[in-house]
Chains A and B, each alone.
Chain A
Amino acid sequence: MPVEIKKKEAKLTGVLGIEEAEELFNFLVDKKKPKVDLSEVEHLHTACLQLLLVFKPDVVALPQDKELALWFL
């Protein structure tokens, strides 16, 4: 599962397609102070990226992929 939710934290893994946007959106809307762990993310669709930009959740871990991580600095 690309989106794994544990309480207030969502762990995103692998490649997140546009299909994951809704799940991510629901998570971000539901939680008061949502957190995301991006360490395992390889790529995320613009729709998902956009959600992170809109909701500005706490990023607990940046992607291990350095190039990708630069986008979240």
Chain B
Amino acid sequence: MSSGLLEQFILESREGLQRISEILITLEEKGEDKGLLNELFRLVHTMKGNSGLFDLPSMTKLLHASEDLMNLVREGKVPYSSEIADILLSAIDIVSTMLDELETSGSTSSETNSSAEEKAKEIRSFIEAKITEPKDISYTKELQEEVKPEDKKSVFNPGLIPEEVRMITVKKMLEGGKVYFILYTPEAECFYKGEDPFYLVRKVPFLIWGRCYLREEVPDPSLMDIYRCITNFELLSFASHEELSEHFKYVLDQVKFVELKPTDLIIPEGDRNGGSVYEDFVSEARKYLEENNFETFKNAVRGLLELTSPKLYYASILRWIDLLVDYLPKTKNIIEALLQSLETETPPIFEVKKEISISPEISIKMSLPKEFLDILETQRIVVEKLKNIEDALLKTNILKSIFLTIENGLTSLKRTDLLKELKEVAEKTTPNNLKPLEDWLNKLREAQPEPPQQPPKQPEYLERPEQPEQLEQIKPEPSATPITSRVLKVDEPKIDRLMNLVGEFVVAKNSLAYLAQKADAVYGVPELSKELKAQYSVLNRISEEMQDAIMQVRMVPVSTVFQRFPRLVRDLSKKLGKKVKLILEGEETEADKNVIEALADPLIHIIRNSLDHGIELPEERVAKGKPEIGTIILRAKQEADQVVIEVIDDGRGIDPEKLKLKAYEKGLISEEQLKKMKDSEALNLIFLPGLSTKEVASDLSGRGVGMDVVKTTVEKFGGSVSVKSTLDKGTVITLSLPLSMAVSHVMIIESAGEKFGIPMENVVETVRVSKKDIQTIKGKMTTVLRNKVVPIFYLNALLDIEQPHLTNEDGEYAVLVLSVKGELIGVIVDRFHETADIILKPFTGFLAGLRLFSGTAIMGDGSVLLIINPKELINAGRN
């Protein structure tokens, strides 16, 4: 198997999984939605199909089970619930793990395989439970409700089962065994899938009896399509529902199971023209039954049997009574019904009226069950829409599927009369002439639904699954044909390479500006210099656009990070017993892929904290007079060249007093600080590493878990974090990160003849400070700037350069005022230069340990600029 195919599979499956989990959560929030359910089913179905291309049996099994469950939900047989969402979500997690393993090692580990198998089993047994649950599934409901045995009868016709088989089966049931009647309707195309329904049927566990028959008429056998399956199977089995479901697991949608009661099979048969010598016997039998004189009763039955021709209807009744006598008293009611039948010469009536339908033709010719009429109605609508479709091939296919749908419906209704009509109509109808079909449908439409006391011959169980599928096939097709995907998937390294090249190009282009200068100053050719400058401006414009374009490519919406949170919030809030609503805002805000990825972990920390410590338990919230359901808002917006993410909760907030006290106890702040610290400052204490223990966090009823980690991560990417909180009202945590990290804006300064770059985001201002304005306090230099005491450092001293700084003519130092972590510091340099956009290359290898510099950049003249890391600079200053 080519690895390209596998890569494609992994990529597509990941996307599929993401969409699946989104849908699952939307469904949970918004309730059942037919469109979403269908999409869900299709996604899983596609993934299952794709996984079949590779040797991943466990994954396929798991997806198959999930698909079945989704199918039941889609068909409305099982209502969507958060229980189902849980199951499916955990299945998705397993598949996702498998994909990860596939990507790294090319195969799945036996551990995940077995957990997948287990999950598949769990889903299967969940389906079992749901199917057998009386209220969840319409057709099992019919079985268990004694009131509607006709529905069951329409699924299976016991008269076709030989009496001796029925007798053995009834015996087994009376001994406590369960018996299932199975109707297997293999799909017409099954042969093309390598299926052999007959083989499957022969291998059914505990098979008692089976028969095969054609589900449709073959008018001219010589023209038949021998590869189209039209054979149905009816079976009786002693196996349990689980065993049967397991056996038919790959064709569950084509199989109906009906659990039988003894009375379903006790159907006397035979010639009814016998004498009426049975009256005496009946009264005697009743007497024996009354007296519990079973032995004598049995003998009487045997005696009469010997006198009766076995072909008679009454002999059949006697044979049944003979069998049932052995199981008295529980069969008493049945025997009484049979005796009654013997007396009245009518078929036995057990709990409910039950007639053997001899001639289906008796029913009013035009009356059709409502379900079927519904199908006709939908087909009629499809025909209506068909008129607007141009594509001839598509039209023909849709038309075919319409006829097939109606045909299936009629076949299951056993309406041969209408089937014949349909065939005639089908011959007359062409894609360009839909009139015959339309007329015929309109004619049928006028047929009234059957009156309720005469239930449909074949209830919805066959038609129902077909209807949504038909519609589904038709709807997406018209748009699907002409439009091909316009999205190109590219590996990230390729984009990175492109970006690096563009970066180098920008640098190379800058050299032109130097060359122009040189042409004039050194070689004295001002004309050439002018032309070079003109060329430079053209290249400059193009390079800027290129840079912009490549940035656009790397831009991804924050929704890629946000979309994992509904799941996280859902799972966590369930676990914690809290009620939380997550609102996502500004998901479309875009930022560089690296920035977005950098956001993921800090956000998880923050949201977790909000859930764990911020949002109160429902009771507590109610007691505080807040709405029971807590709200977390995750908002993204763009502010200048920053992407700002806010996490807002309406939880209990952070108590600054407690926080200060805790920090003091831990020795993180001094007593003086404890007294003087403002509340807003105190909140920032949560970012101190020492406070980030769980004990403190929960004790404080606030945050603290890993907040220092959040801060470090965000700062590593050049961003910042801030926190605002009001006690009992809630907390707002704001992260801001640069939109893009590819290009940095730096200010170039000079010191000791060397040029250095300092990130512009740290630069507050550049000032000139006279030597005399610098005071030394306890050996530290300071100056007063705008009424603030600012510490002053010599850059040369910080960089270990043993040279004094230069001053201008007025004896003033050049001071660069930087803001680092909210603190102002002044750094004395020799000279200020222009600002520049640079592509920062971090140090690698041996130089990676140079923390004072964040990296280098190549300048237009080919020189290397060292970029100072202001934070580390301050640390150096402190020491």
Contacts and interface: CB of A to CB of B under 8 A. Distances in A.
Given A54-B218, A54-B221, A71-B212, A46 B231 contact: yes
Contacts of B186: 46
Interface string A61-73: 0000001101100
A53 B213 contact: yes
A5 interface: no
A21 B197 contact: no
Contacts of A18: 191, 196, 227
Given A29-B222, A43-B199, A49 B212 contact: yes
A55 B221 contact: yes
A29 B214 contact: no
Contacts of A68: 202
B224 A54 contact: yes
A59 interface: no
A51 B198 contact: no
B522 interface: no
Interface in B217-238: 218, 221-222, 224, 226-227, 229-231
A54 B212 CA distance: 11
B199 to A, nearest CB: 6
Nearest to B199: A43
A61 to B, nearest CB: 19
A58 interface: no
Interface string A29-70: 100000000000001111101110111000000000001101
Nearest to A29: B222
B365 interface: no
A22 interface: yes
Given A22-B226, A55-B221, A71-B212, A50 B231 contact: yes
B566 interface: no
A50 B230 contact: yes
B465 interface: no
Interface in A5-40: 18, 21-22, 25, 28-29
Contact of A53 (B195, B196, B231): B231
A44 B226 contact: no
B221 A28 contact: yes
A22 B202 CA distance: 23
Contacts of B218: 54
B231 A49 contact: yes
A46 B221 contact: no
B210 interface: yes
B423 interface: no
**Most A Cβ at <10 Å: residue of B190, B198, B226, B230:** B226
B211 interface: yes
A67 B206 CA distance: 12
A67 B209 CA distance: 10
Contacts of B195: 46
Contacts of A71: 210-212
Contacts of A70: 209-210
Chain A interface mostly: helix
Contacts of B209: 70
A25 B202 CA distance: 23
Nearest to A17: B196
Interface centre among A28, A45, A67 (most CB of B within 10 A): A45
Nearest to B190: A46
A73 B191 CA distance: 25
B226 A21 contact: yes
A21, A47, A71: which has the most chain B beta carbons within 10 Å? A47
B214 A45 contact: no
A71 B213 CA distance: 10
B255 to A, nearest CB: 15
A46 B210 contact: no
Nearest to A18: B191
A54 B34 CA distance: 40
A21 B227 contact: yes
Nearest to B197: A46
A25 B212 contact: no
Contacts of A67: 202
B221 A29 contact: yes
Given A43-B199, A45-B198, A71-B211, A50 B222 contact: no
Contacts of B191: 18, 46-47
A70 B218 CA distance: 24
A46 B191 CA distance: 8
Contacts of B231: 46, 49-50, 53
Contact of A44 (B190, B198, B230): B198
B198 A49 contact: yes
Contacts of B212: 49, 53, 71
Contacts of A53: 212-214, 231
Nearest to A22: B226
Interface in B831-862: none
A45 B221 CA distance: 18
Given A29-B221, A68-B202, A47 B214 contact: no
Nearest to A52: B212
A29 B218 CA distance: 13
Interface string B181-218: 00000100011000111110010000001111110001
A11 to B, nearest CB: 20
Contact of B229 (A25, A28, A29, A50): A50
Contacts of B230: 50
A34 to B, nearest CB: 11
Contacts of B196: 18, 45-46
B271 to A, nearest CB: 22
Task: Name, among A29, A50, A53, the residue most crowded by chain B CB atoms within 10 Å (CB to CB).
Answer: A50
B226 A47 contact: yes
Interface centre among B186, B190, B196, B211 (most CB of A within 10 A): B196
B209 to A, nearest CB: 8
A29 B224 CA distance: 10
A22 B222 CA distance: 12
A53 B224 CA distance: 12
Contacts of A28: 221
Nearest to B211: A71
Contacts of B221: 28-29, 54-55
Interface of B: 186, 190-191, 195-199, 202, 209-214, 218, 221-222, 224, 226-227, 229-231
Given A18-B191, A21-B226, A45-B199, 11 more contacts: A29-B221, A29-B222, A43-B198, A43-B199, A44-B198, A46-B198, A47-B227, A50-B231, A54-B214, A54-B218, A71-B210
27 contacts: A18-B191, A21-B227, A28-B221, A29-B222, A43-B198, A43-B199, A45-B199, A46-B191, A46-B195, A46-B197, A46-B198, A46-B229, A46-B231, A47-B227, A47-B229, A49-B212, A49-B231, A50-B230, A51-B226, A53-B213, A54-B214, A54-B221, A54-B224, A55-B221, A68-B202, A70-B210, A71-B212
Which 5 A-B residue pairs are closest in the complex by CB-CB distance? A46-B198, A50-B231, A46-B197, A29-B222, A25-B226
